[in-house]
Amino acid sequence: MRKVTHQTISEELSQTVLLPCLFTLRPSSSHEPPRIKWTKVWGQRGSDGLQKEQSVLVAKDNVVKVKKAFQGRVTLPGYSINRYNASLALTGLRSSDSGLYRCEVVVGINDEQDTVPLEVTGE
Ligand X SMILES: *[C@@H]1O[C@H](CO)[C@@H](O)[C@H](O)[C@H]1NC(C)=O
In the complex, the residues that contact ligand X under the rule CB under 6 A are 18, 22, 77-78, 82, 85, 87
- What is the per-residue DSSP string for 15-79? --EEE--B------TT-PPPEEEEEEEES---TTS--EEEEEEEEETTEEEE-GGGTTTEE-TTT
Cβ at position 32, least distance to ligand X in Å: 21
Are 107 and 92 in contact by the 8 Å Cβ rule? The answer is no
**22 vs 41, which CB is nearer to ligand X?**
22
**27 in the Ramachandran plot: left (φ > 0), alpha (ψ -120 to 50) or beta?**
beta
**22 vs 106, which CB is nearer to ligand X?**
22
Cβ at position 35, least distance to ligand X in Å: 18
**18 vs 25, which CB is nearer to ligand X?**
18
Cβ at position 20, least distance to ligand X in Å: 7
Residue sitting closest to ligand X (CB): 78
